[in-house]
Chains A and B, each alone.
Chain A
Amino acid sequence: MKKNLLTVLLVFSCISIVFAQNSVITGKVTDQKDGSPLPGVSVTVKGVSGTGTQTGVDGAYKLSVPSTAKVLIFKFLGYKEAEAAINGATLNIQLGADSKQLSEVVVVGYGTQSKRSLTGSVSKIKGSDIENIPVPSLESAIQGRTPGVYIQAQNGKLGQGIQVRVRGASSVSAGSQPLYVVDGLPITVDDFSTNGASTNPLVDLNQNDIASIEILKDASAAAIYGSRASNGVVLVTTKKGKAGATVITYNQYYGFSSPTGERKFLDAKQYVTFFREAAKNAGVSSTKIEARLQRYSAGNDDYKTYKINTDWQKQIIQHAPVQNYNLVFSGGTEKTKFYISGTYNNQTGYLLGNSLNQYSFRTNIENQATNWLTVGANLSLSRTRNNRLDNDDQFSTPEQITALAPITPPIDPRTGLVSGALDPTTGNPNNNYPTYFNPILNSISSYYKSTDFRNLGNLFAQVKILPSLSFRSEVGVDILNTGEDTYNGSLTLRIASTPNGLGVNSSVTSVNFNTNNFLQFTKDIGKSNIDAVGGITYQRQQNDLNSLTGSQFPSDAYKKLNSSADILLGSSTSTAYSLLSYFSRVNYKYNEKYLLSLSGRVDGSSRFGVNHRYGFFPAGSVGWVISEEGFMKKQQLISELKLRASYGLTGNSEIGNFPSRGLFSAFGYAGIAGSRQTQLPNPDLKWETTAQADLGLEIGFFNGRLSGEFDVYQKKTRDLLLNVQVPGTSGFTTITQNLGKLQNKGIELQIDSKNLVGDVKWSTSVNFSINRNKITDLKGQVITGSGDAVNRAVEGQPLGIFFAPEFAGADPNNGDALYYVNKTPGDRTTTTDYNLANPVVIGNPNPKFIAGLNNTLSYKGIDFSFLLQQVNGNQIYNGAGQYMSTSGDNGYDNQTIDQLNAWTTKGQITMVPQARLGASTGISPSSRYIDNGSYVRLKNIVLGYNFPKAMLAKAKLQSVRVYVQATNLATWTKYKGWDPELNSDAFSGNITQGYDFYAAPQAKTITFGVNVGF
């Protein structure tokens, strides 16, 4: 043995001697875990400066070392630093992961931080989790994936507005959407839609370019964004290239969409029977009712035999293919890294005439110009064409087709054209057949094209002044141009009121300029670590709008306004705001155990009067990493334990640009211009302020196999920016004032578990959150939402509660609608007089809790995952109930199937009053139209297969994965409407929530995709 050892030593020393002057060492660095090569590992010689290299894609390196070299040092982020003695020309080494360093890096305001030393509440979603999900915007993709974030799409129309509430709504009248920041640039999220239904400007962002999304939830994390942080901040970071050989990936998917649900309406036989009865009960002569039925039966007697039985909601569904192609080049050298991507996305909605077509390009480049200067640019360009539909409150919106009679044929046999297209007696489209305007005519004769051109980019330079101090300057601009081109052709006469076409062309150009200039300082002093940032930011956004409306076109072949003989309206407007801010944050860490963070921001905004132009938003937080304590080292069970607490102030100023000014607006009167005051000045107007306290616990067991994060918070908002009702006798009806308070408190829980590791990998992630919203002070005011105004803001109640008389069903004696008087709580006296019934809380649109459950499994090349999303304990008010579920009150609107329970005989107990054509009772807003809005949804499910590398090597491919994916595949709900995830696009707002009004159901999409790495 000894001999052998000696021989070995001898051989080594010989080698050393041989290479003494200028030796070359080669080797390969691999991962201790699975032996995979590690590219980009830095290799240096211990004690010798200026000599070093990096491993290539295959983990190999080659380094010339001086004769004095004894030991090589290998460094790689996330791995333990390793030293290895030089023992010849070859030196292979395995690096082990460093659990300390492995702690996730989290993007925070103006910097990054390791998750481990974070003292704020931040949720992170990895880009890979939301890649290739066929939804129009990223919010839909993150729905259900993180606690404390309630996301609700309006309806199933593509690119429609979407509501995101981080830890509840913290405002009654001001905006409640979070601030979105992309690569340091607060982006434009204004809604430029002109048809009454909002669109979502985030549609322009390509999901596949996103590296991570961080949601800053508590004051400690968000307060550095000051006056815009009360609703939470969503930081989107786009992908960067990595040093190494260029990686080329190609992603493609193809699939189909369909609606998630249906609402049940009367069929032909039920319809005819119901309306004959309703007519009889209302004293409408049989001649009249038969004439009407005949009219809606295309003028013939088919209705008597129920020969035609049209299910109208099926008529507005189209074949809806979805396709997406995405090509990415990324890579670079140590000095220059790049990421280039191009995407083509074409989604056809399942609703007739609805589609979204998008091209987007992104280039992210970073270059280390000198050893003290790094420069870079993140630039994206996109063009999104959305063929839109009218808002939910229009006869032309698809779901309003359900008002049509089932006895009406889709094609009018008298003309052979779509029902309603032609009245042979007038030569014009029918104005009394079918029952209402047929929305199908809209898809034939009209279009509504909304086109976004968006250029989102920023340039940055970072100067290293000292090893511990650097200066970063960012200049960004978000240029968004939204053009709308609409045309209502002659077939839409019944709704457009103009027989010869109506065209509208409008354009908004929004330029949002932003610059951040800040110093970053980081230094270890003994066991202390200081990480500080401070600087100035300035932002200015200006929106310029133009629009032109014209009518009188020669024919439907002419659609542009140059062909319009009568220009009806022309307008241009401008609006702007600016924000000048100073911010700073200092993080102090002692011995990896004790954490302290202080931050502050001073915001100056053009939106407020001189009296309150500047606001200060401080926050502080502490953390204690208990698992680093000596006493924790003895046990193996708990691998990580951290307690954190934070408190701070944030603001909200989303109330338009000039709410503090007294304003006069111009109005024309028969060609003469005039003006009148439209707004009273409020020089004292200032931000809404939210004080938020958060207590968090992070715990990991079994070396991270099981981990959990638990937060409890309270957000108290004061100085609410309210549209306060004032006596109309003043000549004004509302003013914007700081008045009132509300609060949100809640808990959030996130548990991640690696159930199985090894060949079969299975991980589960659960999130659960409860938020309780309560308006604590409105100075006695009751603020109503739009729509039926059943949604209210009332003191002592959550925002948006449904407040209306309580419906008591049909009077067993005569079938009249009864309401509970509710003079005192529990008063069960009933009345037929709606005015005598006191309005009470009849429901709450805010869920009791929301939850998500994500499971990921993989075995060899197969991967499988599914995400369940739950919303529980909320109610929905059907604003269209007054038309569709009204015992035949609203003319000849088809009725929902439950109206068959209408009262018919004395003594009958039913919740549906007697059917009386045009004369039913119980039609006013009441609890009659409240329904359960809870649901559980299989939000996403994916099954994929990765082809074995060996097989791909022959084809010179790095990776190939094929998959099948479904979104919204199954929904479990008691809601009787189309789909429980809704908010009427025509009425929704902070107060009007959970209000259904012909809201089209969400799309269920199944896609087949392939990802190829070259």
Chain B
Amino acid sequence: MKKIKYTIIALSTLIVLFNTSCKKQLDIKPESDVEADLAIKNSKDVEGVLIGAYTAAGLRGIYGGRLQATTEFLANDGDFSFYGTYSEYTELSSQAPTITNAFISDLWNAGFNTIGVCNTVLAHLDLVDTAKGKRVRVEAEAKFLRGMTYFDLARSFGRAWNDDHGSPTTNPAVPIVLTPTTTIPGIQKPSRSTVAQVYAQAISDLTAAEANLEVAKSTYASSSAASAILARIYLTQENYTLAETEATKVIDAKNNGNIIYSLVNLFADEFQYPGQATHVFNTTEDIFAIQMSSQSGFNALNEIFASADFGGRSETYINQQHFDRYETGDDRLNEFYDEDGLGDILTSKFNNQYGNVVLIRLAEIYLIRAEARIKKGAADLVGAAADINIVRKRAKLENTTATSAVDLFEAVKHERRVELAFEGFRLFDLKRYKESIPAYDSNGDPAGTIDWDSPKLVYPIPKRERDTNPNLTQNEGYQ
């Protein structure tokens, strides 16, 4: 009996000890990530989340390149052909995106992810140091990213500002979300705000950013970057005076009395490929660029426009139609290469796999100002010609011969087409210029045109999104 008694005592002791020591082990903290309640404790944490907002914006789904590439493909009027396997691009290239197009869905998600991270920063500003204007700067950078994102989402998912089917004040764009989601019950199902409301939100964010950021060259958002996006917005809104004002702020931006931004000498220098794929720093022409390196980021423009030799997929070839747009002697014609000597031509703009994705560069700003100067109430045609000529000169071309408003407008349209080709401008330019693109029937034969205000040139609200949020209406043509 004694043996049993001892055994029982020994066993119970063992079990109690074991039990208590193991119970503690049930609380295992994640090591590779940080729990939300520990992630934002001080100023440095919030500044880190601001960097996180840049990384969110730099995802391939949006400013990492697919925003630009998808809109280029949708606006493709035959300047290039796609021979690849991404059905998303195939659909876009034939102006027939489906509501399940993953790249459109990614754009929506990546856009609102960026906005969500910016909202997280803005909700924790109270933790940011006030010394040296840090808090002001953090707030302004977050607002820059949020404002820019809202503008791009609005013009991708909503009808154009100048579209007279309805009006900006009635046409739906995207929902406006200004607070971060931190809990599951906190997930909202917002309705779409109007184009005008989203533009207004973007202008409000960007104006605040412009006012509170330094006028200085930066890898991050700067006052000039905010001015540049504002210039784009005002141009889209046909508010030419303000567009000119904002463009001029960028062009004349000075730091310690020195002009900050200038066109690089050679067009090719703007699209550097230093022997091998590697990170390059912003050029004097770059106003804002998503920073890429071998350690971070994904250049989706490289993926889709470059050849396999440069890390791309060798799937997008440029057609003669595009080369026919260039004047003889245009240096920009040299930014193409024949992949194999067999006439398969690609653009060299995105050959650097780890090259930055440039979102705003000075050449565009000159062309915005030129366009604004032509179109504004009291047109400044001389100023417009001067702006155009700056861009032409770098392309080793003579000054424009256009003098009339009509001719200068044609000249600026032409310059944008060749200067900014494949950089994600074409869809919005053709809407602003009310141009149409050729349509093809299912046999591939020409079948009329797709007009600038066709619902086919507006993205559908992704099916995934409408499945989760019944408050979202679908765009015309996708019901």
Q: Are B36 and A662 interface neighbours, CB within 8 A? A: yes
Distance in angstroms from A576 CB to nearest chain B CB is 5
Asked if B400 is an interface residue, CB under 8 A from chain A, the answer is: no
Contact (A669, B55) CB under 8 Å given A566-B294, A661-B30, A681-B36: yes
CA distance A605 to B291 in the complex (A): 42
CA distance A463 to B45 in the complex (A): 56
- Please, which residues of chain B bring their CB within 8 A of the CB of A972? none
Asked if B34 is an interface residue, CB under 8 A from chain A, the answer is: yes
Contact (A668, B25) CB under 8 Å given A432-B339, A728-B113, A729-B112: no
Asked if A702 is an interface residue, CB under 8 A from chain B, the answer is: no
Asked if A890 is an interface residue, CB under 8 A from chain B, the answer is: yes
CA distance A921 to B441 in the complex (A): 11
Q: List the B residue with the shortest CB-CB distance to A608.
A: B26
Asked if A737 is an interface residue, CB under 8 A from chain B, the answer is: yes
Contact (A726, B444) CB under 8 Å given A658-B33, A667-B52, A668-B296: no
Contact (A663, B465) CB under 8 Å given A493-B308, A730-B181: no
Taking a contact as CB atoms closer than 8 A, the residue among A662, A679, A916, A924 that contacts B444 in the complex is: A916
Q: Are B309 and A431 interface neighbours, CB within 8 A? A: yes
Q: Are B83 and A918 interface neighbours, CB within 8 A? A: yes
Q: Are B464 and A675 interface neighbours, CB within 8 A? A: no
Taking a contact as CB atoms closer than 8 A, the residue among B28, B53, B310 that contacts A657 in the complex is: B28
Q: Which of B22-79 contact A (CB under 8 A)?
A: 22-23, 25-28, 30-37, 39-40, 45, 48-56, 58
Stretch at the interface among A260-268, A567-575, A586-594, A933-941: A567-575
Q: Are B468 and A727 interface neighbours, CB within 8 A? A: yes
Q: Are A578 and B120 interface neighbours, CB within 8 A? A: no
Q: Are A835 and B478 interface neighbours, CB within 8 A? A: yes
Contact with A along B96-129 (1 / 0, CB 8 A): 1011100001001100110111011000000000
CA distance A573 to B81 in the complex (A): 43
Q: Are B31 and A574 interface neighbours, CB within 8 A? A: yes
Asked if B190 is an interface residue, CB under 8 A from chain A, the answer is: yes
Q: Are A728 and B7 interface neighbours, CB within 8 A? A: no
Q: List the A residue with the shortest CB-CB distance to B51.
A: A674
- Please, which residues of chain B bring their CB within 8 A of the CB of A604? 23, 26
Distance in angstroms from A281 CB to nearest chain B CB is 8
Contact with B along A718-758 (1 / 0, CB 8 A): 00000001111111110101000000000000000000000
Distance in angstroms from B26 CB to nearest chain A CB is 5
Asked if B279 is an interface residue, CB under 8 A from chain A, the answer is: yes
- Please, which residues of chain B bring their CB within 8 A of the CB of A726? 187, 468
Of the listed residues B30, B344, B478, the one surrounded by the most CB atoms of chain A closer than 10 A to its CB is B30
Contact with B along A605-638 (1 / 0, CB 8 A): 1100000010000000000000000000000000
Distance in angstroms from B19 CB to nearest chain A CB is 7
Q: Which of B253-301 contact A (CB under 8 A)?
A: 276-277, 279, 291-297
Of the listed residues B37, B85, B177, the one surrounded by the most CB atoms of chain A closer than 10 A to its CB is B85
CA distance A670 to B478 in the complex (A): 39
Taking a contact as CB atoms closer than 8 A, the residue among B26, B32, B340, B468 that contacts A578 in the complex is: B26
Q: Are A662 and B51 interface neighbours, CB within 8 A? A: no
- Please, which residues of chain A bring their CB within 8 A of the CB of B174? 729
Q: Are A497 and B311 interface neighbours, CB within 8 A? A: yes
Q: Are A538 and B25 interface neighbours, CB within 8 A? A: yes
Q: Are A580 and B26 interface neighbours, CB within 8 A? A: yes
Taking a contact as CB atoms closer than 8 A, the residue among A463, A466, A663, A672 that contacts B51 in the complex is: A672
- Please, which residues of chain A bring their CB within 8 A of the CB of B464? 725, 728, 733
- Please, which residues of chain A bring their CB within 8 A of the CB of B32? 573-575, 665
Contact (A580, B22) CB under 8 Å given A668-B295, A782-B467: yes
CA distance A730 to B120 in the complex (A): 11
Distance in angstroms from A567 CB to nearest chain B CB is 9
Main secondary structure of the interface of B (DSSP, over half): loop
Taking a contact as CB atoms closer than 8 A, the residue among A466, A658, A725 that contacts B468 in the complex is: A725
Q: Are B28 and A578 interface neighbours, CB within 8 A? A: yes
- Please, which residues of chain A bring their CB within 8 A of the CB of B30? 575, 657-658, 661, 663
Asked if B341 is an interface residue, CB under 8 A from chain A, the answer is: yes
Q: Are B33 and A678 interface neighbours, CB within 8 A? A: yes
Contact with B along A14-54 (1 / 0, CB 8 A): 00000000000000000000000000000000000000000
- Please, which residues of chain B bring their CB within 8 A of the CB of A423? 340
CA distance A568 to B105 in the complex (A): 30
- Please, which residues of chain B bring their CB within 8 A of the CB of A679? 33
Stretch at the interface among B10-18, B198-206, B431-439: B10-18
Q: How many A-B residue pairs have CB under 8 A?
A: 269
Q: Which of A643-679 contact B (CB under 8 A)?
A: 657-658, 661-679
Q: Are A735 and B184 interface neighbours, CB within 8 A? A: yes
Q: Are A669 and B291 interface neighbours, CB within 8 A? A: yes
Distance in angstroms from A945 CB to nearest chain B CB is 54
Q: Are B184 and A682 interface neighbours, CB within 8 A? A: yes
- Please, which residues of chain B bring their CB within 8 A of the CB of A676? 49, 52-53, 55-56, 117, 120
Asked if A183 is an interface residue, CB under 8 A from chain B, the answer is: no
Contact with B along A348-378 (1 / 0, CB 8 A): 0000000000000000000000000000000
Taking a contact as CB atoms closer than 8 A, the residue among A538, A606, A675 that contacts B34 in the complex is: A675
Q: List the B residue with the shortest CB-CB distance to A604.
A: B26
Distance in angstroms from B107 CB to nearest chain A CB is 10
Asked if B353 is an interface residue, CB under 8 A from chain A, the answer is: yes
- Please, which residues of chain A bring their CB within 8 A of the CB of B309? 426, 428, 431, 493, 499
Q: List the A residue with the shortest CB-CB distance to B52.
A: A676
Q: Which of B307-325 contact A (CB under 8 A)?
A: 307-312, 314
Distance in angstroms from A884 CB to nearest chain B CB is 11
Q: List the B residue with the shortest CB-CB distance to A889.
A: B90
Taking a contact as CB atoms closer than 8 A, the residue among B34, B188, B444 that contacts A283 in the complex is: B444
Contact (A680, B22) CB under 8 Å given A671-B293, A729-B190: no
Asked if A819 is an interface residue, CB under 8 A from chain B, the answer is: no
Asked if B164 is an interface residue, CB under 8 A from chain A, the answer is: no
Asked if A536 is an interface residue, CB under 8 A from chain B, the answer is: yes
Contact with B along A671-700 (1 / 0, CB 8 A): 111111111111000000000000000000
CA distance A919 to B83 in the complex (A): 10
- Please, which residues of chain B bring their CB within 8 A of the CB of A864? none
Q: Which of B166-186 contact A (CB under 8 A)?
A: 174-175, 177, 180-184, 186
Which 9 residue pairs are nearest across A and B when measured between Cβ atoms?
A: A731-B116, A674-B51, A662-B36, A676-B52, A670-B291, A664-B39, A497-B311, A667-B55, A674-B52
* A/B interface sample: 16 pairs, CB < 8 A: A283-B443, A431-B340, A574-B31, A575-B30, A580-B22, A580-B25, A606-B25, A674-B48, A675-B45, A681-B184, A729-B177, A729-B469, A730-B116, A730-B181, A918-B83, A923-B90
Q: Which residues of A approach B to under 8 Å, CB–CB?
A: 281-283, 291, 295, 423, 425-426, 428, 430-433, 463, 465-466, 471, 493-495, 497-499, 517, 519, 536, 538, 540, 552, 566, 568-569, 573-578, 580, 604-606, 613, 657-658, 661-682, 725-733, 735, 737, 781-782, 789, 814, 816, 832, 834-835, 882-883, 890-891, 916, 918-919, 921, 923-924
New A-B pairs, 9, CB < 8 Å, besides A677-B180, A730-B181, A731-B119: A432-B342, A463-B7, A517-B18, A575-B32, A606-B26, A664-B39, A669-B291, A675-B52, A727-B187
